[in-house]
Amino acid sequence: MKRSTNSTRNNTKVRTTDTNNMDSSMQNSFLLDGVPDIKRWVFIPVKIVHRRPSDLLFGSKVIKNKNIVDGVDVYSYNNYMNYTDEEQQSSYSHSFTSGSGADKVYVQVDGMSYNGKYVDYSIVDSRLPVSESVAFVAVKNPKLNSSISYISAYDSHGRICRPYCQSYDSYGPNSNQYRQCSGVVNLTEEEPRMYGEDIGEVTQLLYKSGKGKGFTRSDENVFLSFYCDFHEIPWGNC
């Protein structure tokens, strides 16, 4: 059962959830222009940068001089990242965060030059001041002609993340410099090819490994990134 409890020490609401939300996966139809076929899609990597919301409190208590410190947990970062109680986006009234800190950020693809939709998610750790993860989402295969997609991201509480695209203006394609963008992606067959025919192929764009060596991730082939700090909506200045 979903429930919320109040701390007896500081009246801070602690939000928990049942396991069904985290256990459920996504099933897409792979329907593109009326034809359901995964071969008509390709996958791209999307990086998620998630900042801990201000209203969370986890059960990892801070103990100083034999006493529990009220209103914080081990992962609280008020004193480390110049955090202030600035206003955040509203969330669903019925939303909950897992007591473990595990949460989902959903990435949604809506076709603009084609009729198709794809949704998947990435797991983030809401305990940490900042956590990063990668989601793989499908867009129209550019071999079939124009592949223009609008890509958006939002968390399980309905809060919207801001899109950033890799900049090629003055830094070059390998600089990992990002600028705020609209989230509209025009995928082509031109190099550098930043997509894969399946999840395995697109994973190889991110992780390089050699004999006797561990995996090392590179964002060189990640064109789109979302910053989820929830302090302003993407069109807030429009």
pLDDT at position 37 over 60: yes
Parallel, antiparallel or unpaired: strands 224-228 and 41-51: parallel
pLDDT at position 229 over 60: yes
- What is the SS3 assignment for 144? helix
Band of residue 80 on the pLDDT scale cut at 50, 70, 90: very low
Q: What percent of the chain has pLDDT over 70?
A: 72
Band of residue 200 on the pLDDT scale cut at 50, 70, 90: very high
3-state SS, one letter per residue, for 149-187: EEEEEEECCCCECEEEEECCCCCCCCCCCEEECCCEEEE
What are the backbone dihedrals phi and psi of residue 174, each rounded to the nearest 5 degrees, phi first?
-105, 15
Of 34-43, 52-61, 95-104, 149-158, the one with minimum mean pLDDT is: 95-104
- What is the SS3 assignment for 134? strand
| Residues 90 and 12 sit within 8 Å (Cβ to Cβ) | no
For 152-185, the pLDDT digits (tens) are 999 888 889 999 998 866 545 455 688 999 999 9
C-alpha angle 31-107-134 in degrees, rounded to nearest 5: 115
Band of residue 226 on the pLDDT scale cut at 50, 70, 90: very high
The H-assigned helical ranges of 41-133 are none
- Please tell me the predicted confidence (pLDDT) of residue 8: 34
pLDDT at position 20 over 90: no
What are the backbone dihedrals phi and psi of residue 119, each rounded to the nearest 5 degrees, phi first?
-135, 135
Band of residue 82 on the pLDDT scale cut at 50, 70, 90: very low
Of 57-66, 78-87, 208-217, the one with minimum mean pLDDT is: 78-87
Q: In whole angstroms, what separates CA 117 from the centre of its chain?
A: 18
Q: How many residues does the chain have?
A: 238
For 53-75, the pLDDT digits (tens) are 877 888 888 888 899 988 888 88
Q: In the numeric block, which tokens belong to residue 213?
A: 């060596």
C-alpha angle 199-207-27 in degrees, rounded to nearest 5: 20
Overall pTM > 0.75: yes
- Rounded Cα distance between 110 and 24, Å, is 22
For 105-148, the pLDDT digits (tens) are 999 999 999 999 999 999 999 899 899 999 999 999 999 999 99
- Rounded Cα distance between 237 and 172, Å, is 28
- Please tell me the predicted confidence (pLDDT) of residue 220: 87
160, 194, 166, 161: which is closest to 179 by C-alpha? 166
pLDDT at position 15 over 50: no
Nearby residues of 65 by Cβ (< 8 Å), 6 or more positions away: none
